[in-house]
Amino acid sequence: MKKTLHKVWIGIFLLLSSVFFAVNATGNACAQVTFKRLLHSSEEPQNWLTYSGDYAGRRFSALDEVKTANVRSLVVKWVFQTGATGKLETTPLVVDGVLYATGQDDRALALDARTGRPLWLYQRQLPADIRPCCGRVNRGLAILGDKVFLGLLDAHVIALDAKTGNVVWDVAAVEYAKGYSFTLAPLVLKNLVILGVSGGEYGIRGFIDAYDADTGQRKWRFYTVPGPGEPGHETWEGNSWKTGGAPAWMTGVYDPATNQLFWPTGNPAPSNRGEGRAGDNLYSNSLLALDPDSGKLNWYFQFTKHDEHDWDATQVPIMIDSGGKHLIAQANRNGFFYVLDRSTGKLLSSNAYGKITWSNSKDNEGRPVPTKESSPTPTGRTVCPGALGTTNWMSPSFDAQTGLFYVSAREQCDIFSTAPQPYEAGHAYYGSAYFPSDEAEPYWGAVRAIDPENGLVKWEFRHPSPTWSGVLSTAGGLVFTGDAEGNFIALDAATGKPLWHFQMGGAVYASPMAFAVDGREYIAIAAGSSLYAFGLP
Amino acid sequence: MVEGKGGRVGPDLTAVGISRTVESLVESVRNPSQRLAWGLTEPTKEFAQRYETVTVVTPDGKEIKGVTLNEDSFSLQVMDTAEQIHLFDKDKLRSIKKSRKSLMPAFDPGTLSDQDLNDIIAYLLDLAEK
C-alpha cells in the first residue's frame, strides 16, 4: 500500500511539474514560437519573427515610438561585433527580448536584445573547398518552436536549440563541391523549413526544399529546372537543363489565405551566354506559386526569358491587398516593377523604375520584350541596367499607410560580352564577362518610393554610390536604409526627406528591422562587421 | 608624387610601375581623364572615386576646386589644387559640381614627346623594381 501511495505522489508531482513548465514556457522570455504566432505576427509588433517581418514580405514595423517628430534624437543603444571579416548580410529575428542573427562564415548567435550581450554563439566549421559565389555570407535564420534554422555554405541545413545554440539536427541537402550552397534565411510555415539553393554561377540545377522542422527529414524538393518529361523541360536546348542554374537564393513569402508559397528564382546558367541553351529556360528568373504541402507548382510568371544579363529575379516579392485585389509586386533586377494577380499569376502592370535600354516594347501579356541589340556579343554591348541590376537582393518594403513600395535602386550600365565556356563541375560558369560601361554616367544609387497603383516613382533619395542596403518602413512614418558609405539614414516615408543619419564606419550589406523590448523601440542594422541597435534616449 | 617628393593632389607614382601596364601609363599621361582601371565587380565605394574633379561654392560665395578625398550623402572632403583639405556639409554649400575631367592636364606629343614619355615610363618602371 505504501509503495502504491508513493507512486501516486510521484505521478501527481510529474503531472503538476509538466503543467508548471508548460505554463512557464508560454509566459517567459523564451516562449515557444508557434505557427499560429507566425501567422499573426502583426499582433506582436515588438517581435520580428520572420526574415521579412511577416509572411507578406512587407518589411514593415507597426512600432511608432520612433517617428518623424523625434527621429532626430535617435542614438546607438548597443553594438555587437562579430569579430569576423567579410560582408555581414544578416537580418535578425527578435522573439520576446532575445535577438537571433547570423554572421560571416556561417556564424549564428543569440543576444539580449536590450543590451547586445551574447547568450550563445555558434560557428560552423566549414570545409576549405566550399564555393560561395559572392562572399561567405548568410542572410538570416528562421524560428519555430524552440529551434532556429539555418542554411549553410556547405549546403547543409541545420536546426539549433534556440536556448543553447546546440545542434539539434543537421542534414546535407546536396553536394557542395559542385557549387551548391545556402545563403538565404529559411522560411518556416506549418511544420516545414523551406529554403532555396544558391550557386547559379556554377552551373547547378536549382531547387527549393522543404524539411520537417522536428526531424530534418526532407518532405519535398521542387527543381527549378524541369527534368525530362516535366512541363517546361522543352524550354532547354539539349542537355543544358542539367547545368541550367535557376537558383532560389532569397526568401519567399506565403499567403495563408490561399495556402500558396511564392518563391523567386535566379538566372539561367551560364549567366551571360544564351548560346547552347536556346529557349525560355524555365523556371529561371521567375516567380513560382507552390503548394507548400506538396511542393507542386500552381503557376509561374517568368520576368526575363532566356536571360543573358545575370538578372536574377530573386528579389523579395511583396503581397499587397488593395481595393479588393490580391496582388504580388516585385521590383525586379531587370529594371521593371511588376504587379501580378497572386491568385493566377496574371501580369497586371510592368513599369520601369530605373534606366533601362534592353527593351522598347511589350508582348501581348504586357511583359517587356528584349531588343536584339541587347544581347551580349563577343566584342561587348552596353546595356542598362548592368549585371548587378536596378536592384538586387536587398529587401524592399511596403507601407500600407502611405501605399508606397520602397526599394533601393542602382543606376549602372555595363558592357556585356560573351564567349564559349565548357562546363566543369564546381567551377565558375559565366560564359561571359561584364564591365562597367565607360560611356555611362558614374554609377549611383537611390531609395525610390513607387506607387504600385501606377508604377510611378513618387520620390527618390539619392546616394552618391549604389547601396546594398535594404529598406524598412515603420508606422512612425519613417523609412530606414543604409548606404555604401556607412550611413544609417531615416527618411520621411511620405516625401523622402532625410531626417536623421548616423555614420557606422562600415558599408551596409543588410536590410534593417525593428523590434521592442520593455515597451522601447529599437531599429537594428548590420554594417561593416557589426550589428547596431538604435533607439530613443 | 615620387618617393615622398612632389604634389599631393595626384597619385603616388613610386610603385606605379608594378601596378599598371606600360599601355595604361601612356594612356594616363596622354588622356588622364580616362579612368585608370575597371574591375569585374564594383568597388564598395567606401572611398569615393579618387581624382574626380569637384568644384564647390561655399555659403560666402567662394569657389573651391579640387579632388574628392571622400564623400557620402551628407558630407564632402576635398583637397584643393593648393593641397588644402576642406571639410564640407553638403546641405550648407551653394553648389557642388563634379567632372570626370582630371585636374591633370593632358600631355599630347606636342607638349611631351614620345621619347620624353618613354623616358618617364622607363624611370617609373625602374623605380618600381627597386
Q: Which residues of chain B make contact with A466, given a CB cutoff of 8 A?
A: 42, 45
Q: Which residues of chain A make contact with B97, given a CB cutoff of 8 A?
A: none
Closest-CA distance, B89 to chain A, in angstroms, reads 13
Give the tens place of pLDDT for each residue, A149-194.
999 999 999 999 999 999 999 999 999 999 999 999 999 999 999 9
Q: Write down the number of H helices and E strands in chain A.
A: 2, 38
Q: Which residues of chain A make contact with B44, given a CB cutoff of 8 A?
A: 484, 507
| pLDDT at residue B42 in the model | 40
Residue of A nearest to B76 (CA): A464
Q: Which of B49, B54, B72, B89 to mutate against chain A (most A CBs within 10 Å)?
A: B72
Q: Which residues contact A454 (CB under 8 A, 6 or more apart)?
A: A349, A351
Cα–Cα distance measured from residue A79 to residue A85, given in angstroms and rounded to the nearest whole number:
16
pLDDT for residue B82 is more than 50: yes
What would the mean pLDDT of A374-403 be, rounded to a whole number?
Answer: 95
Nearest neighbour of A464 by CB, restricted to B35, B38, B73:
B73
Closest-CA distance, A393 to chain B, in angstroms, reads 16
Q: Which of B31, B54, B74 to mutate against chain A (most A CBs within 10 Å)?
A: B74
Torsion of CA B11, B12, B14, B17, to 10 degrees: -20
Q: Which three cell numbers stand for residue A195?
A: 529554403
Torsion of CA B98, B101, B103, B105, to 10 degrees: -160
- DSSP conformational letter for B26: H
Q: Looking at the complex, does the CB of residue B42 fall below 8 Å from at least one CB of chain A?
A: yes
Neighbours of A125 (CB within 10 A): 7
Cα–Cα distance measured from residue A470 to residue A450, given in angstroms and rounded to the nearest whole number:
15
Chain A to chain B Cβ contacts (< 8 Å): 53
Q: Which helix (H) or strand (E) holds A446?
A: strand A444-451
In whole numbers, what is the pLDDT of chain B averaged over residues?
A: 83
Closest-CA distance, A495 to chain B, in angstroms, reads 17
Q: Looking at the complex, does the CB of residue B31 fall below 8 Å from at least one CB of chain A?
A: no
Residue of B nearest to A434 (CA): B40
Q: Which residues of chain A make contact with B42, given a CB cutoff of 8 A?
A: 388, 412, 436, 443, 466
Reply yes or no: is the peptide bond before residue A378 cis, omega within 30 of 0. no
Reply yes or no: is the peptide bond before residue A211 cis, omega within 30 of 0. no
Looking at chain A, the whole-number percentage of residues with pLDDT higher than 70 is 93
Degrees, nearest 5: CA angle A44-A49-A51: 135
Question: What is the CA A369 to chain-centroid distance, rounded?
Answer: 27
Q: Would the CB atoms of A486 and B46 count as touching at under 8 Å?
A: yes
pLDDT for residue A4 is more than 70: no
Q: Which residues of chain B make contact with A481, given a CB cutoff of 8 A?
A: none
Q: Which three cell numbers stand for residue A10?
A: 510521484
Cα–Cα distance measured from residue A53 to residue A66, given in angstroms and rounded to the nearest whole number:
18
What would the mean pLDDT of A426-447 be, rounded to a whole number?
Answer: 78
| pLDDT at residue B9 in the model | 85
- CB burial readout B118-129, b (16+ within 10 A) else e: eebbeebeebee
Q: Which residues of chain A make contact with B100, given a CB cutoff of 8 A?
A: 442
Residue A86 three-state SS: coil
- Beta-sheet strands, E only, within A342-437: 347-352, 359-362, 368-370, 381-383, 397-399, 404-411, 414-418, 432-436
Residue with cell 563541391: A177
Q: Would the CB atoms of B46 and A503 count as touching at under 8 Å?
A: no
- Beta-sheet strands, E only, within A104-182: 107-112, 118-123, 142-144, 147-151, 156-161, 167-172
Cα–Cα distance measured from residue A15 to residue A407, given in angstroms and rounded to the nearest whole number:
53
* A529-to-A100, A223, B44 alpha-carbon distances in Å: 16, 35, 14
pLDDT for residue A41 is more than 90: yes
Per-residue confidence band for B103, with pLDDT thresholds at 50, 70 and 90:
confident
Structure ipTM? 0.77
Give the tens place of pLDDT for each residue, A502-513.
999 999 999 999
Cα–Cα distance measured from residue A142 to residue A95, given in angstroms and rounded to the nearest whole number:
11
Closest-CA distance, A485 to chain B, in angstroms, reads 5
Looking at chain A, the whole-number percentage of residues with pLDDT higher than 90 is 87
Q: Which residues of chain A make contact with B71, given a CB cutoff of 8 A?
A: 464, 485
| pLDDT at residue A6 in the model | 57
Closest-CA distance, A470 to chain B, in angstroms, reads 16
In whole numbers, what is the pLDDT of chain A averaged over residues?
A: 93
Active site residues of A: 310
pTM for this prediction: 0.89
pLDDT for residue B43 is more than 60: no
Residue of B nearest to A528 (CA): B46
| Region of poorest pLDDT, from A301-315, A451-465, B32-46 | B32-46
Q: Nearest to residue A104, comparing CAs of A138, A55, A77?
A: A138
Q: Looking at the complex, does the CB of residue B23 fall below 8 Å from at least one CB of chain A?
A: no
Q: Would the CB atoms of B73 and A443 count as touching at under 8 Å?
A: no
Sign of CA dihedral A413, A415, A416, A422: negative
Cα–Cα distance measured from residue B127 to residue A178, given in angstroms and rounded to the nearest whole number:
45
Residue of B nearest to A432 (CA): B40
Q: Would the CB atoms of B71 and A485 count as touching at under 8 Å?
A: yes
Q: Which residues of chain B make contact with A465, given a CB cutoff of 8 A?
A: 45, 48
Q: Which of B33, B38, B46, B88 to mutate against chain A (most A CBs within 10 Å)?
A: B46
Q: Looking at the complex, does the CB of residue B3 fall below 8 Å from at least one CB of chain A?
A: no
Closest-CA distance, B127 to chain A, in angstroms, reads 31
Cα–Cα distance measured from residue B85 to residue B94, given in angstroms and rounded to the nearest whole number:
18
Q: Which residues of chain B make contact with A464, given a CB cutoff of 8 A?
A: 45, 48, 71-73
Q: Nearest to residue A194, comparing CAs of A166, A160, A222, A167?
A: A222
- CB burial readout A504-520, b (16+ within 10 A) else e: bebbbbbbbbbbbbeee
Per-residue confidence band for A7, with pLDDT thresholds at 50, 70 and 90:
low
Q: Would the CB atoms of B46 and A484 count as touching at under 8 Å?
A: yes
Q: Would the CB atoms of B46 and A433 count as touching at under 8 Å?
A: no
Q: Nearest to residue A135, comparing CAs of A110, A95, A105, A167?
A: A105
Cα–Cα distance measured from residue A372 to residue A487, given in angstroms and rounded to the nearest whole number:
41
| pLDDT at residue A263 in the model | 98
Nearest neighbour of B74 by CB, restricted to A433, A434, A487:
A487
Distance spanning both ends of chain A, measured CA to CA = 66
Q: Would the CB atoms of A388 and B35 count as touching at under 8 Å?
A: no
Q: Which residues contact A78 (CB under 8 A, 6 or more apart)?
A: A115, A116, A532, A533
Residue of B nearest to A461 (CA): B73
Residue of A nearest to B90 (CA): A464
Closest-CA distance, A95 to chain B, in angstroms, reads 33
What would the mean pLDDT of A23-44 be, rounded to a whole number?
Answer: 75
* DSSP β-bridge partners for residue B28: none
| pLDDT at residue A28 in the model | 46
| Contact indicator for B83, B8 with CB cutoff of 8 Å | yes
What is the C-alpha radius of gyration for chain A, rounded to an integer number of angstroms? 23
Q: Which residues of chain B make contact with A487, given a CB cutoff of 8 A?
A: 72-74
Reply yes or no: is the peptide bond before residue A270 cis, omega within 30 of 0. yes
Torsion of CA A332, A337, A342, A344, to 10 degrees: -90
Cα–Cα distance measured from residue A101 to residue A93, given in angstroms and rounded to the nearest whole number:
6
Cα–Cα distance measured from residue A401 to residue A421, given in angstroms and rounded to the nearest whole number:
50
